Amino acid sequence: KNQVEQSPQSLIILEGKNCTLQCNYTVSPFSNLRWYKQDTGRGPVSLTIMTFSENTKSNGRYTATLDADTKQSSLHITASQLSDSASYICVVSLTGGFKTIFGAGTRLFVKA
């Protein structure tokens, strides 16, 4: 069964600290993995995308990694800011069309 599992479900960190969010997937045939950021009351916005051959991708203070062998991805946030408070959703797409599997998300709260 195609599944995407994220951990932790929620996380509270102090402003300025780093954090890492995890995504494990059992999806086949794999095409790519994305991380989205969803602010409260808004739709998700794409942060990074990685294909099978890529194992890291950065977008400012966000760095995503992908281990296609273990089917794990992580999103590392450096020097967190209050505006990083959001849900972060891991999304895996299958080859051959429109099929995408969304994780349930990690709710991050950054406090001052």
Partner 1 sequence: DVKVTQSSRYLVKRTGEKVFLECVQDMDHENMFWYRQDPGLGLRLIYFSYDVKMKEKGDIPEGYSVSREKKERFSLILESASTNQTSMYLCASSFEGGATDTQYFGPGTRLTVL
Residues that bind partner 1 (CB under 8 A): 4, 9, 31-32, 34, 41-46, 49, 51, 89, 91, 93-105
> Is the CB of 9 or the CB of 112 nearer to partner 1?
9
**E strand segments, 1-112:** 3-7, 10-14, 19-26, 30-38, 45-51, 56-59, 62-67, 72-77, 86-94, 100-102, 106-111
Closer CB to partner 1, 32 or 72, in the complex: 32
Q: Are 94 and 100 in contact (CB under 8 A)?
A: yes
Residue 11 or 101 with smaller CB distance to partner 1 = 101
**Minimum distance, C-beta of residue 1 to partner 1, in the bound complex (Å):** 12
